[in-house]
Amino acid sequence: MTSPAQIADRFTYQGLDVDSATGEVTCRYATGQHEFTERFIFGPEGNWGDPATLAAIRILYLLAGISYYKTTAAPLIDLGDLVTTADERDFLLRFYREGLGEFAYRSGIDLGGLALTGPDGSLTPVSYSPDAGRPLIPFGGGIDSIVTVEGLRRDHSDAALCIVHPQGQRFAAIEDPAAVAHLPMVHVTRVIDPKVLRSRELGLLNGHVPITAVITATALVAAVLQRRDAVVLSNEWSASIPTLEENGKTVNHQWSKSESFETAFSQLVESSLGPQIAVFSYLRSRSELWVAQQFAGLTKYHPVFRSCNRAFHQDPAQRLDHWCGECDKCCFIDLILAPFIDAAHLDEVFGGNEPLNTPSLRDKFEALLGLSLDAKPFECVGDVHECRAALRLTAARADRLDNMLVHSLAAACSDSNEQDDDVDFLLAPIGPHYIPDRYAPPDLLVRAH
């Protein structure tokens, strides 16, 4: 639980600096006795003199503060001399409350009373005229972003990848599949304030932040610098489903990948930059099961992708260059791919350490399948129904007939309602999407919203 002594009175946005000569953006914040700076290094290339670039940077400044706000969880956010509209402040409050839902839940903090102050004003969108058909794809190396890349590149040869990485570090689990894609890459260096990494030592609060939102805002700046007309995300349907519900409140580990965030952020961008640039998820109406089915056919990525938590450890000494084969993410990726990939090949992907061949991991699979009292893990994993549908399909495969863990888990799920785990439903588009027609695949040209 959080001590009252750790809570500051106010979190303040102190200012924003842009150095176009080096292509560096510096965001400054303060809370309690601490001042923080976060830097984003884009490089000097691009349209730094365009008012649209500053408008995009302003959005990044608004969102990047969340990493530092959470160090003291102050009840008041002070925007300093930054003029904002009522709609922007409403967005920002929602961003902090819902984006930090997991942090608040685990820290025993109630953000319901969070308030925001700052000068009020109007906002006229800047004039932005991008080059059409040039999407920028934030790329994390996982099956979702890979499927997006391969879906877009067929009709948009000028697509490019955006990779955000720490200073002096590039994650092989991102760079290796990006190299296989053979598309131009935009690298942005994100330099977080080192005091955040010393949170425990300094008596600061720590926990999950909606990092996908910050990466999305970073990609927006990178896209505007290159006059691109879209930032294309890879967040699927089940990212909108809460991780848990308690006392009438929902907590979603993936809130910044949800439909709720996507629509709110897109409105924020349009109010600042106009409608000529689109920010949307290519996979919004797709299930993880559908994504896995598509990825199964993208065999050139199989030897190099690695959606393992240990591949992204902040400490390079603890970062693995292979699948750990035991974390929640490894278990989920194995489960969702198992219906569509030959068992021997999938075991080879995991370096001979496939989770479904490890009976001691049963408790992790039970949590994914909703069979245990443990909550769904606070990870970027699919919905229970997606996991159960994947398990049923896997159990029916001839090459899994002797897998005792698979069939034991399938038996434990046998009393579930198969209608809830309907494979045909999960492999078809589900719900609305927000893809502009110029980017929509043929089966999504008629939109559901």
Query: What mean pLDDT value characterizes the chain?
Result: 93
**128-142 core/surface letters (b: 16 or more CB in 10 A; e: else):** bebeeebbbbbbbbb
Tell me the per-residue pLDDT of 163-172, one tens digit each, with 9 for 90 and over.
999 988 898 9
Structural domains of the chain, ranges and CATH numbers in brackets: 7-119+133-281 (3.40.50), 288-427 (no CATH)
Q: CA separation (Å) from 429 to 26, 256, 286, 433, 444?
A: 41, 21, 5, 9, 8
Q: What pLDDT is recorded for position 420?
A: 59
Convert 117-151 into a string of H (helix), E (strand) and C (coil). Answer: ECCECCCCCCCCCCCCCCEEEECCCCHHHHHHHHH
The amino acid present at 237, given as its one-letter code, is W
Q: Does residue 9 register a pLDDT over 60?
A: yes
Q: How confident is the model over 26-73, as pLDDT tens digits?
A: 999 999 999 999 999 999 999 999 999 999 999 999 999 999 999 999
Question: What is the structure's pLDDT at 310?
Answer: 84
Secondary structure of 80-125 in HEC code, one letter for each residue? CCCCECHHHHHHHHHHHHHHCHHHHHHHCCCCCCCEEECCECCCCC
- Structure tokens, 283: 């996979």
Q: Cα dihedral angle (378, 381, 382, 384), rounded to 10 degrees? A: -50
Could you report the per-residue pLDDT of 271-297, keeping only the tens digit for each? 999 999 999 999 999 999 999 999 999
Mean pLDDT, residues 338-352: 97
The mean per-residue pLDDT over the stretch 401-411 comes to: 95
The predicted-structure confidence for 163-203, as pLDDT tens digits, reads as follows 999 988 898 999 999 999 999 999 999 999 999 989 989 99
- Does the structure show a pLDDT above 90 at 313? no
Contacts of 403 (CB under 8 A, 6+ apart): 343, 356, 357
Q: What share of the chain is helix, strand, coil (3-state, %, to 5)?
A: 40, 15, 45
42 vs 218: CA distance, rounded Å: 9
Q: Which band of pLDDT confidence, cut at 50, 70 and 90, is reported for residue 1?
A: low
- Confidence (pLDDT) at 449: 39
Residue with tokens 């902090």: 96
| pLDDT tops 80 at residue 3 | no
pLDDT at 448: 43
With cut-offs at 50, 70 and 90, classify the pLDDT of residue 156: very high
Q: Is the pLDDT of residue 330 over 90?
A: yes
User: Rounded distance, CA 54 to CA 47, Å?
Assistant: 10
**447 confidence band (pLDDT: 50, 70, 90):** very low
Confidence at 325, pLDDT banded by 50, 70, 90: very high
In angstroms, what CA-CA distances link 292 with 281, 299, 404? Answer: 17, 12, 23
Cα–Cα distance for residue pair 102/249, rounded to 1 Å: 11
pLDDT band at residue 5 under the 50/70/90 scheme? low
Instruction: State yes or no: pLDDT of 231 exceeds 90.
Output: yes
Contact 67, 217 (CB under 8 A): no
- Identify residue 412 by its one-letter amino acid code: A
Q: For tokens 């194995």, what's the residue? A: 334
d(CA 86, CA 220) in angstroms, rounded, equals: 22
CA distance to 195, 219, 309, 316, per residue, from 319 (Å): 21, 25, 9, 5
Q: Does 446 score more than 70 pLDDT? A: no
**pLDDT given for residue 4 in this prediction:** 58
